[in-house]
Amino acid sequence: MNINIIAVGRVKEKYILNGIAEFKKRLTPHAKINIIEVSDEAAPENLSNSEMEMVKAKEGEKILKKIKDQDYVITLEIKGKNLSSEDFAKKIENIQLNGKSTIDFVIGGSLGLSEEVMKRSNFALSFSDMTFPHQLMRLILIEQIYRAFRIINNFPYHK
Protein backbone atom coordinates (compact mmCIF):
# COMPACT_ATOMS: atom_id res chain seq x y z
CA MET A 1 0.00 0.00 0.00
CA ASN A 2 1.23 3.48 -0.88
CA ILE A 3 0.10 6.34 1.31
CA ASN A 4 0.70 9.93 0.36
CA ILE A 5 0.16 12.71 2.84
CA ILE A 6 -0.24 15.80 0.70
CA ALA A 7 -0.04 18.90 2.83
CA VAL A 8 0.13 22.63 2.34
CA GLY A 9 3.16 24.30 3.89
CA ARG A 10 6.25 23.08 5.68
CA VAL A 11 6.73 21.66 9.14
CA LYS A 12 9.52 23.49 10.93
CA GLU A 13 9.06 22.27 14.50
CA LYS A 14 11.66 19.62 15.30
CA TYR A 15 9.44 17.72 17.74
CA ILE A 16 6.75 17.32 15.08
CA LEU A 17 9.30 16.24 12.46
CA ASN A 18 10.74 13.69 14.91
CA GLY A 19 7.29 12.27 15.64
CA ILE A 20 6.43 12.00 11.95
CA ALA A 21 9.77 10.28 11.24
CA GLU A 22 9.16 7.78 14.06
CA PHE A 23 5.71 6.74 12.81
CA LYS A 24 6.93 6.68 9.20
CA LYS A 25 9.63 4.23 10.30
CA ARG A 26 7.10 2.12 12.24
CA LEU A 27 4.85 1.96 9.17
CA THR A 28 7.59 0.52 6.94
CA PRO A 29 6.33 -3.11 7.19
CA HIS A 30 2.78 -2.05 6.34
CA ALA A 31 2.93 0.78 3.81
CA LYS A 32 5.18 3.15 1.93
CA ILE A 33 4.58 6.64 3.28
CA ASN A 34 5.34 9.75 1.23
CA ILE A 35 5.04 13.24 2.67
CA ILE A 36 4.37 15.65 -0.18
CA GLU A 37 4.50 19.32 0.68
CA VAL A 38 3.10 22.04 -1.54
CA SER A 39 3.92 25.66 -0.87
CA ASP A 40 1.38 27.78 0.91
CA GLU A 41 0.20 31.14 -0.34
CA ALA A 42 0.52 34.31 1.69
CA ALA A 43 -2.66 34.76 3.72
CA PRO A 44 -2.62 37.89 5.90
CA GLU A 45 -5.30 38.19 8.59
CA ASN A 46 -7.40 40.81 6.79
CA LEU A 47 -8.22 38.97 3.54
CA SER A 48 -11.63 39.40 1.98
CA ASN A 49 -13.73 36.31 1.24
CA SER A 50 -12.82 36.47 -2.46
CA GLU A 51 -9.12 36.79 -1.60
CA MET A 52 -9.40 33.76 0.72
CA GLU A 53 -11.01 31.76 -2.08
CA MET A 54 -8.19 32.78 -4.43
CA VAL A 55 -5.57 31.59 -1.91
CA LYS A 56 -7.38 28.26 -1.48
CA ALA A 57 -7.74 27.90 -5.26
CA LYS A 58 -4.00 28.43 -5.84
CA GLU A 59 -3.10 25.95 -3.11
CA GLY A 60 -5.74 23.58 -4.47
CA GLU A 61 -4.17 23.63 -7.95
CA LYS A 62 -0.84 22.59 -6.44
CA ILE A 63 -2.52 19.79 -4.46
CA LEU A 64 -4.43 18.44 -7.46
CA LYS A 65 -1.20 18.21 -9.49
CA LYS A 66 0.07 15.69 -6.92
CA ILE A 67 -2.98 13.40 -7.16
CA LYS A 68 -3.16 10.67 -9.78
CA ASP A 69 -6.48 9.68 -11.38
CA GLN A 70 -6.43 6.18 -9.87
CA ASP A 71 -5.66 7.32 -6.30
CA TYR A 72 -8.22 7.14 -3.53
CA VAL A 73 -8.37 10.62 -1.97
CA ILE A 74 -9.26 11.31 1.66
CA THR A 75 -9.48 14.99 2.53
CA LEU A 76 -9.26 16.19 6.10
CA GLU A 77 -12.18 18.54 6.63
CA ILE A 78 -13.89 19.93 9.71
CA LYS A 79 -17.24 19.00 8.15
CA GLY A 80 -16.06 15.50 7.22
CA LYS A 81 -17.15 12.26 8.84
CA ASN A 82 -15.85 11.39 12.31
CA LEU A 83 -14.58 7.82 12.61
CA SER A 84 -13.36 5.81 15.56
CA SER A 85 -9.87 4.34 15.21
CA GLU A 86 -11.46 0.95 14.51
CA ASP A 87 -13.70 2.39 11.79
CA PHE A 88 -10.75 4.26 10.30
CA ALA A 89 -8.85 0.95 10.14
CA LYS A 90 -11.86 -0.69 8.42
CA LYS A 91 -11.96 2.19 5.93
CA ILE A 92 -8.30 1.69 5.00
CA GLU A 93 -8.74 -2.08 4.82
CA ASN A 94 -11.80 -1.72 2.55
CA ILE A 95 -9.93 0.64 0.24
CA GLN A 96 -7.20 -2.00 -0.08
CA LEU A 97 -9.73 -4.80 -0.63
CA ASN A 98 -11.38 -2.76 -3.38
CA GLY A 99 -8.13 -2.76 -5.33
CA LYS A 100 -6.77 0.69 -4.61
CA SER A 101 -3.02 0.65 -4.07
CA THR A 102 -2.61 4.36 -3.23
CA ILE A 103 -4.40 6.53 -0.72
CA ASP A 104 -3.80 10.27 -0.76
CA PHE A 105 -4.58 12.05 2.50
CA VAL A 106 -4.91 15.79 1.92
CA ILE A 107 -4.34 18.43 4.60
CA GLY A 108 -5.13 21.98 3.56
CA GLY A 109 -3.47 25.18 4.62
CA SER A 110 -4.58 27.66 7.25
CA LEU A 111 -7.67 28.60 5.23
CA GLY A 112 -8.72 25.04 4.42
CA LEU A 113 -9.25 23.31 1.09
CA SER A 114 -10.52 24.62 -2.24
CA GLU A 115 -13.84 23.47 -3.65
CA GLU A 116 -11.98 21.70 -6.46
CA VAL A 117 -9.97 19.58 -4.01
CA MET A 118 -13.08 18.74 -1.99
CA LYS A 119 -14.86 17.69 -5.21
CA ARG A 120 -11.96 15.34 -6.07
CA SER A 121 -12.16 13.75 -2.64
CA ASN A 122 -13.51 10.22 -2.35
CA PHE A 123 -14.03 10.61 1.40
CA ALA A 124 -14.05 13.62 3.73
CA LEU A 125 -12.63 12.78 7.16
CA SER A 126 -12.83 14.86 10.31
CA PHE A 127 -10.69 14.21 13.34
CA SER A 128 -12.62 16.66 15.50
CA ASP A 129 -14.86 19.70 15.51
CA MET A 130 -11.82 21.49 16.89
CA THR A 131 -9.27 23.20 14.66
CA PHE A 132 -5.68 21.93 14.81
CA PRO A 133 -2.55 23.52 13.37
CA HIS A 134 -2.02 21.87 10.00
CA GLN A 135 1.60 21.00 10.93
CA LEU A 136 0.44 19.12 14.05
CA MET A 137 -2.33 17.45 12.04
CA ARG A 138 0.32 15.60 10.03
CA LEU A 139 1.62 13.96 13.20
CA ILE A 140 -1.88 13.10 14.42
CA LEU A 141 -2.77 11.65 11.00
CA ILE A 142 0.33 9.50 10.63
CA GLU A 143 -0.12 8.15 14.16
CA GLN A 144 -3.70 7.18 13.33
CA ILE A 145 -2.56 5.52 10.09
CA TYR A 146 -0.06 3.52 12.13
CA ARG A 147 -2.76 2.64 14.67
CA ALA A 148 -5.05 1.54 11.81
CA PHE A 149 -2.46 -0.87 10.44
CA ARG A 150 -1.88 -2.28 13.92
CA ILE A 151 -5.64 -2.87 14.24
CA ILE A 152 -5.87 -4.41 10.75
CA ASN A 153 -3.02 -6.80 11.57
CA ASN A 154 -4.26 -7.62 15.11
CA PHE A 155 -1.12 -6.28 16.76
CA PRO A 156 -1.17 -4.85 20.27
CA TYR A 157 -0.79 -1.08 20.17
CA HIS A 158 -4.30 0.08 19.88
CA LYS A 159 -5.42 -0.24 23.51
**110 labelled as ligand-binding?**
no
**102 labelled as ligand-binding?**
no
**76 labelled as ligand-binding?**
yes
What are the distances in angstroms from CA 118 to CA 21, 112, 157?
28, 10, 32
**108 labelled as ligand-binding?**
yes
**130 labelled as ligand-binding?**
yes
**129 labelled as ligand-binding?**
yes
**27 labelled as ligand-binding?**
no
Q: Could you tell me the strand order of the sheet in which 102-107 lies?
A: 32-38, 2-8, 102-107, 72-82, 123-126
Q: Rounded to whole angstroms, how far apart are CA atoms 130 and 138? A: 15
**Residues making up the binding site:** 76, 108, 127-132
**Residues making up the binding site for S-adenosyl-L-methionine:** 76, 108, 127-132
